[in-house]
């Protein structure tokens, strides 16, 4: 019936934007929460319907382009291909769940809070769908700015400092990105910002190297990659937890997505030239973050370092440009989003109830809250990539690609899975096991609403872990296109 309907991408942008703007005019917290839930679920629904229109032969289905700034050679181009669908799905699934988990009365001026969150969602979806560099840049910033306000208004004690650091870091990256985009624009034959025009731009080797680094720094800060990561633990610690969930679950994926959509296809020669040193640095960073996580006493910082390690693995996988690693990493984008958000949700519940986020002051929650404990153990084992959980499939393939790239690097990176087990299980042991500590004396188990969220996440964890085929079918074309650019060389 809707065979000719191809406006899904635009709908996906407008829905959260409209919801966000409406939210600012709502009075009560309840209404704004309902509004946020409504629009985020609607986005998910639209995306789900659009998934039904996946035609494997037609990966460019649902590509739209609107007149925007014709004299600049920029058009408002959006696309829903496999990679985009996967990331949009992640975004669309996580936002309603995050909204559900926000307790009432937690944040002052809730309408603005929800509004800014929805604007973030709009920015994120835009980043993933943009086929035009200028549009991409616009959404890249659009996703950043609401997060800045969210963190600096509703964040923790040291929020101003942390947010400022976060902003300066990412903004610096954005500037590099902008310079890179403008340079590429000048180099296109027709003077266009379109993705395809960028792909076809002719650059000399030196130009490619320089512009490669301009893009790379922007994405590296966003992911983040060692040694550009120091904004992250602070930002995660200080931002309000729902924002942290979005930051770590989806926003850091912007960097990896940037690698896949822009960096790798645009600069194949530079990638091949610099992949070895970059991978070595990244893997060093992975181990560095893993070792750091061992002795963290703050749950949030521990999760942050764990995330840096996992993201680093994905980034290293991307730079191998091995087919198997690329597939694995794309799936891992999705899996990591689910797992890390699951982690944050538990951390948030603990902190909300006990007012403590120091691991040494916690303990024995499993006695008081067995259901939460079960879920946390599942999330923990998903985090250390136990087989049949989602992360295993992706990490197995990434490691496989790394091994093909260089067995020694794969071996070194493999140490991180041991360290991951060590710090994750320490976290489980010290917070959930043992006899209840003073702080958790009156701990209450999860309520049905939270059970629902956790059950959803658990189902996702196991579904992807046991039966990843549908996801691979979804991304097959897009990943193939990226890898093909390297085969030709």
Partner 1 sequence: MIQYVFLIPLLPLIGFLINGLFRNYLTKTVSGWIGTGVMLASFILSIALFNQVRQPGFQQHVIFYFDFIRAGGLYIPFSFNVDQLSVLFLLIITGIGTLIHLYSTAYMHEESNDHFARYFAYLNLFVFSMLLLVLGANYVIMFIGWEGVGLCSYLLIGFWFGNPEYTKAAKKAFVMNRIGDLGFLLAIFWMITQFDSVRYLEIFSKAPGAPVVVLTGITMLLFIGAMGKSAQIPLYTWLPDAMAGPTPVSALIHAATMVTAGIYMIARSNVLYNLAPVTENTVAIIGLATALLAATIALKQNDIKKVLAYSTVSQLGLMFLALGVGAYTAGVFHVMTHAFFKALLFLAAGSVIHAMHHEQDITQMGGLRKKLPITHVTFLIGCLAIAGIPPFAGFFSKDEILAAAHDRSPILYAFSIIASLMTSFYMFRLYFLTFGGSFRGSEKQFSHVHESPMAMTVPLMVLAVLSIAGGWIGIPEVFVHNAHWLSAFLEPVIPIFKPHHTPLSHQTELALMGAVVILILGMIVWAYRTFGKSNVSFSTPEGISKMMANKWYVDEAYDFLIVKPLNAISIWIEKMVETRWIDGLVNGVGKMVLFGSRQIRMLQSGQVGSYILVMVISILVILMYQLFWKS
The residues in 308-327 that bind partner 1, with binding defined as CB under 8 A, are: 322-327
- Which of residues 185 and 403 has its CB atom nearest to partner 1 in the complex? 403
Give me the torsion for CA of 464, 393, 453, 296, rounded to 10°: 180
Please report how the helices 407-432 and 370-383 are oriented relative to each other, as an axis angle in degrees rounded to 10. 170
* Cβ at position 111, least distance to partner 1 in Å: 35
Extract the tokens encoding 231. Answer: 């904004």
Pick the binder of partner 1 from 37, 148, 269, 434 (CB under 8 A): 434
* Cβ at position 391, least distance to partner 1 in Å: 12
Binding mask 31-70 for partner 1 (x = CB under 8 A): ----------------------------------------
Pick the binder of partner 1 from 31, 182, 417, 481 (CB under 8 A): 417
Q: Which residues pair with 78 in a beta bridge?
A: 64, 130
* Cβ at position 311, least distance to partner 1 in Å: 17
Count Cα atoms within 13 angstroms, Cβ side, for 78. Answer: 28
CA 96/CA 42 separation, integer angstroms: 10
Buried/exposed 188-227: b ≥16 CB within 10 Å, e otherwise: beeebbbbebbeebebeeebbebbbbbbbbbbbbbbbbbe
* Cβ at position 465, least distance to partner 1 in Å: 10
Buried/exposed 379-418: b ≥16 CB within 10 Å, e otherwise: bbbbbbbeeebbbbbbbebbbbbbbebbeebbebbeebbe
* Cβ at position 40, least distance to partner 1 in Å: 29
Binding mask 200-229 for partner 1 (x = CB under 8 A): ---------------------------x--
* Cβ at position 69, least distance to partner 1 in Å: 34
Q: Which stretch binds partner 1 (CB under 8 A): 57-65, 127-135, 244-252, 430-438?
A: 430-438
CA 88/CA 78 separation, integer angstroms: 12
Pick the binder of partner 1 from 201, 265, 468, 482 (CB under 8 A): 468
- Which of residues 124 and 391 has its CB atom nearest to partner 1 in the complex? 391
Maximum C-alpha span of the chain: 69
Q: How far is CA 214 from CA 260, 321, 476, in A?
A: 15, 20, 29
* Cβ at position 296, least distance to partner 1 in Å: 8
Q: What is the DSSP string of 121-137?
A: HHHHHHHHHB-BHHHHH
* Cβ at position 213, least distance to partner 1 in Å: 18
Residue 422 in contact with partner 1, rule: CB under 8 A: yes
Count Cα atoms within 13 angstroms, Cβ side, for 13. Answer: 21
The residues in 142-181 that bind partner 1, with binding defined as CB under 8 A, are: 165
Binding mask 345-374 for partner 1 (x = CB under 8 A): -------------------x-xx--x----
- Which of residues 340 and 419 has its CB atom nearest to partner 1 in the complex? 419
Pick the binder of partner 1 from 45, 175, 294, 441 (CB under 8 A): 294
Q: Which residues pair with 74 in a beta bridge?
A: 69
| Cis amide prior to 224 (ω within 30 degrees) | yes
Q: Which stretch binds partner 1 (CB under 8 A): 31-39, 112-120, 250-258, 394-402?
A: 394-402
CA 379/CA 425 separation, integer angstroms: 11
Pick the binder of partner 1 from 103, 191, 277, 387 (CB under 8 A): 387
Pick the binder of partner 1 from 37, 51, 179, 425 (CB under 8 A): 425
* Cβ at position 432, least distance to partner 1 in Å: 7
On whether the CB atoms of residues 251 and 141 are closer than 8 A, the answer is no
Binding mask 395-414 for partner 1 (x = CB under 8 A): -xx-xxx-xx--x--xx--x
On whether the CB atoms of residues 6 and 77 are closer than 8 A, the answer is no
* Cβ at position 414, least distance to partner 1 in Å: 5
CA 149/CA 158 separation, integer angstroms: 14
Could you list the residues that contact partner 1 (CB under 8 A)?
Answer: 165, 227, 230, 288, 291-292, 294-296, 322-328, 331, 364, 366-367, 370, 377, 381, 386-388, 392-393, 396-397, 399-401, 403-404, 407, 410-411, 414-415, 417-418, 421-422, 425-426, 429, 432-435, 466-469, 472, 476, 479
């Amino acid at each position: 019936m809707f065979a000719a309907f191809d406006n899904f991408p635009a709908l996906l942008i407008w829905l959260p934007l409209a919801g966000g703007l409406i939210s600012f005019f709502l009075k009560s917290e309840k209404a704004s929460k309902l509004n946020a839930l409504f629009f985020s679920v609607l986005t998910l629904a639209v995306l789900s319907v659009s998934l039904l229109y996946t035609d494997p032969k037609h990966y460019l289905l649902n590509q739209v382009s609107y007149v925007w700034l014709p004299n600049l050679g920029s058009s408002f181009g959006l696309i829903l291909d496999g990679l985009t669908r996967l990331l949009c799905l992640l975004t669309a699934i996580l936002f309603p769940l995050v909204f559900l988990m926000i307790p009432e009365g937690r944040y002052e001026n809730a309408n603005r809070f929800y509004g800014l969150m929805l604007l973030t969602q709009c920015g994120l979806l835009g980043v993933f769908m943009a086929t035009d560099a200028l549009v991409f840049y616009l959404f890249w910033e659009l996703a950043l700015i609401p997060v800045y306000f969210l963190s600096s208004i509703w964040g923790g004690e040291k929020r101003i400092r942390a947010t400022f650091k976060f902003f300066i870091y990412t903004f610096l990256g954005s500037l590099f990105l902008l310079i890179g985009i403008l340079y590429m624009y000048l180099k296109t034959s027709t003077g266009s910002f379109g993705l395809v025009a960028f792909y076809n731009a002719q650059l000399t080797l030196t130009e490619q190297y320089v512009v490669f680094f301009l893009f790379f720094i922007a994405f590296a800060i966003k992911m983040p990659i060692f040694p550009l990561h120091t904004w992250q633990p602070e930002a995660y610690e200080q931002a309000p937890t729902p924002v942290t969930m979005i930051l770590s679950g989806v926003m850091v994926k912007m960097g990896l997505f940037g690698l896949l959509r822009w960096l790798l296809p645009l600069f194949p020669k530079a990638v091949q030239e610099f992949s070895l040193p970059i991978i070595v640095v990244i893997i060093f960073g992975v181990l560095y973050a893993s070792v750091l996580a061992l002795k963290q006493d703050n749950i949030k910082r521990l999760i942050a370092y764990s995330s840096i390690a996992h993201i680093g693995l994905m980034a290293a996988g991307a730079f191998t440009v091995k087919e198997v690693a690329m597939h694995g990493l794309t799936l891992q984008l999705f899996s990591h989003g689910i797992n890390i958000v699951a982690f944050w949700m538990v951390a948030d519940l603990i902190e909300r109830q006990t007012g403590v986020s120091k691991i040494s002051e916690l303990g024995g929650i499993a006695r008081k809250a067995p259901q939460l404990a079960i879920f946390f153990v599942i999330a923990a084992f998903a985090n250390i990539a136990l087989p049949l959980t989602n992360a295993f499939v992706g990490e197995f393939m990434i490691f496989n690609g790394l091994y093909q790239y260089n067995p020694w690097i794969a071996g070194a990176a493999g140490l991180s899975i041991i360290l991951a087990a060590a710090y994750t299980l320490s976290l489980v042991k010290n917070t959930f096991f043992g006899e209840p500590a003073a702080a958790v004396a009156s701990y209450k188990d999860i309520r049905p609403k939270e059970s629902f969220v956790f059950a959803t996440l658990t189902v996702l964890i196991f579904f992807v872990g046991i039966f990843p085929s549908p996801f691979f079918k979804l991304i097959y074309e897009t990943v193939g296109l990226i890898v093909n650019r390297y085969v030709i060389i």
